[in-house]
Structure 1
Amino acid sequence: MQIAVIGAGMAGLTCARQLATHGHSVTVYEKSDSAGGRMSTRETELGGFDHGAQYFTARQPAFQRQVATWCRAGLIDLWRARLVTLDSGVAIAAGLSGQRFVAVPGMNALGRHLAQDLDVRTGQRVTQIESYHDGWLLRVSAETVAIEASAGPFDAVIIAMPADQAAPLLAAAPMMALQAAQARLAPCWSLLLGFEQELRLGYDGAWIRNSRLAWIAHDASKPQRRPGEHWVGHASTEWSAEHLEDDPERVKEKLLKAFHSATGSDVQPVYAAVHRWRFAQAIEPLPSACLWDPQLRIGTCGDWFSAGLDGAGRIENAYLSAAALAESITA
């Protein structure tokens, strides 16, 4: 079949690769200028900042096998981080078990690998899916082209996007659109900080209580990263939602103040930036692995499906959801 996949994050790329392995002709459309989704790394003159997904774990056997394959290929490595909980400036050992993995040399490296040998068309936003005889046409816009264009026809369409963005595109499958609309995703403001001086905080990552920031991590503590004092912070879902439309400079000022307060450090950064993720974490996932209509030949997958796990929003959820959808199609 000729299959269109909309979204080049972990879910879209995983589904596309598995479908291509089974002999299907797959075209991936991605609105951003690069693949990987929230497995993102911002490159600066100081080095990279993993300002999206921080790490991932592997719980289900199917994903554990895939993680082992990536490890053998040198695509990922263990992050042997010293993790704590910060409460009123006091560091409490987190005491958490389990392995945490990161892509090397940055989180975006895994997305680049998954996109290899696939027809991935970046900078192209799909705005509508239209029925065409026994297949589908896509309406596609790009900043470099003044008018929208049509792409297709395709025998099947896969939407691998956050539920809030997937639901409008699923208008041709109303029941599926209603299901997607039931998932609820929360935003997240990310803070990126670079320092000339060592902070010597004594930990590599911390969950923070009673703060605008919910998490901070020392990026340079991850394997194969450029040395330096590079920190990433994630604001809490509640604070991010409340300040979603705030001016980025104001957000940066507030989150930098929260970083100083939580860590007890008054060292000023030489680099500071923020990034807004509108759909960062699934807080009400759908209790299934994916959605697929074999008559219409349209489906959706992503980290907003539970996919047999407790909770959602993880890289593992995205992988398992995409694998389940690819299996449903090839079956």
Structure 2
Amino acid sequence: MPKAPHTSPSTVRRKGFAKAPRHIAIVGAGVAGIACARTLVQAGHQVSVFEQHPEPGGRTRSVDSPFGSFDAGAQYFTVRDPRLERVLQTQPGLCRPWSASTVRVLDAAGRVVAASPVPKDPHWVAAPRMDALVQAWATPLQDAGHLHTDAQVVRMEPDRLRPGAWQLTTVSKDGARHVHAGFDAVLLAMPAIPAQTLLADAASPLAKNLSGVAMAPCWTLMLAYPQAMQPGLTTLGPQWNAARSTHHRIAWVARESSKPGRSLIERWTVQASPEWSAEHLEDDPARVLAKLRKAFAEITGIRTEPAHAELQRWRHARTLQPLGQSHLWDAPAGLGVCGDWCLGHRVEDAFVSGLELALAVA
């Protein structure tokens, strides 16, 4: 990719950001939220980002284990929008193409029934883990004290002391509650259902616009097999590194150790199908783990006991019915929403959504 010109905050302002600086709260530190925050900071605004998890990442979140990390959410991303391409060029080497671009399609018994051709859009991953991209973008915010983690926003309401402004109530994992006030605008960069809840509580008419959005859950299983590093072995099971599956329990499997910048210890990420995940969303995790392990063995032939097995439950994972526009922005009220679900389910959709909301606000 060609080298992109550096864009300074003053350059951004000269290109049309002429509004007076404001204090803007962003709820959610995934791709959409951080892309939005970066753009608003470049435009000269003060930004405070609130994230309920310990680190930024959203659905690019990675999970650590004694044997290496797992990309528990997004497995890769494409770069079709030139604006995303320009942003990635500012940090060369952070993202690398993944050689598993030819993805097999498996039947329920694990037989390869098709191999999709190499796509025109390469599959990219951040290194050494998927959330490294968002965390790199978020570092300036964190260094400036503008990223608040372990802060779940549970209430959004008019500021009690300043007319026309907003205040947020957050709760941390230890149950501590805090009120953050004085925001000229609040932007929700989170899944549609919790965003709709906060908007409804604030009596925002934007809430009704989200009623048609549908998102599916996903159970993700992470397995490690360090025994594959023994002399004479390189990998366990199939010789491919990624596959889509028609098995009723599993939609996707990927060999994590095949991704660039990862530990060589054999690790697999298994994502359950949306239908199966919805049906078993509230099941006992031990039961879910056992069922997914059985299905994984059926389609890969790997029946060896893993040294590590872990689950991640995503309540809002894949977009089934998107909003149909990149964002929503109620300028008089100072409320907006963004997220991949506005356009689809790709990482790139999240970036575009967050960027375009910021451009509308700035």
Q: Output the amino acid matched with 1:84.
A: R
Q: Which of 47, 52, 72 is the equivalent residue of 1:31? A: 52
Residue 175 of structure 1 corresponds to which residue in structure 2? 205
Superposition pairs of residues 20-169 of structure 1, within 5 angstroms: 20-70=41-91, 72=92, 74-81=93-100, 82-87=102-107, 88-91=109-112, 92-97=114-119, 98-118=121-141, 119-132=146-159, 133-146=163-176, 148-169=177-198
Query: Aligned to 1:255, what secondary structure does the other structure show?
Result: helix
Corresponding letter in the other structure for 1:290 = H
1:34 CA drift (Å) = 1.0
Which structure has the highest strand share of the two? 1
Q: Which amino acid aligns with 2:136?
A: H
Contact 1:204 1:221 in 2 (8 A): yes
Question: Take 1:8 and 1:102, find their aligned partners in 2: how far apart are those partners?
Answer: 19
Structure 1 CA distance for aligned equivalents of residues 175 and 62 of structure 2: 27
Q: Which sits farther off after the overlay, 54-63 or 155-164? A: 54-63
| The 10-residue stretch of structure 1 (84-93 or 267-276) with the greater mean CA deviation from structure 2 | 84-93
Q: Do the aligned residues in 2 keep the contact of 1:301 with 1:322 (CA within 8 Å)?
A: yes
Q: Distance in 1 between matches of 2:223 and 2:356?
A: 38
Q: Which amino acid aligns with 2:44?
A: G
| Paired amino acid for 1:224 | G
**Worse-superposed segment, 61-70 or 255-264:** 61-70
Aligned to 2:330: 293
On the 8 A contact 2:237/2:300 being kept in 1, the answer is no
Deviation track 1:278-330 (CA, whole Å, cap 9, x = no partner) reads 00011010011100011011101001111xxxxx1111110000011000011
> 80-89 or 289-298: which moved more?
80-89
The answer as to whether partners of 1:58 and 1:67 remain within 8 angstroms in 2 is: no
User: What is the CA distance between 1:221 and its match in structure 2?
Assistant: 0.4
Contact 2:237 2:302 in 1 (8 A): no
**Residue equivalent to 2:354:** 322
* Amino acid across the alignment from 1:254: K
Root mean square deviation of aligned Cα: 1.3
> What 5-or-longer segments of structure 1 have no aligned partner?
307-311
Task: After TM superposition, give the deviation of residue 65 of structure 1 in Å.
Answer: 3.0
- The whole-number CA distance in structure 1 between the counterparts of 2:48 and 2:276 is 38
Where do 5+ consecutive residues of structure 2 fail to align? 1-21, 229-234
Secondary structure at 1:292's aligned position in 2?
strand
**C-alpha distance in 2, partners of 1:200/1:260?**
9
TM-score normalised over the length of structure 2:
0.86
Q: CA deviation at 1:145?
A: 5.0
Worse-matched range after superposition: 111-120 or 158-167: 111-120
- Rounded Cα–Cα distance in structure 2 between residues aligned with 1:42 and 1:89: 26
Offset at residue 60 of structure 1 (A): 2.7
Paired residues of 2:237 and 2:301 also in contact (CA < 8 A): no
Aligned to 2:219: 189
Match for 1:216 among 240, 253, 263? 253
- Residue identity over aligned pairs, in percent, reads 41
TM-score for the superposition, normalised by structure 1: 0.94
Larger Rg: 1 or 2? Answer: 2
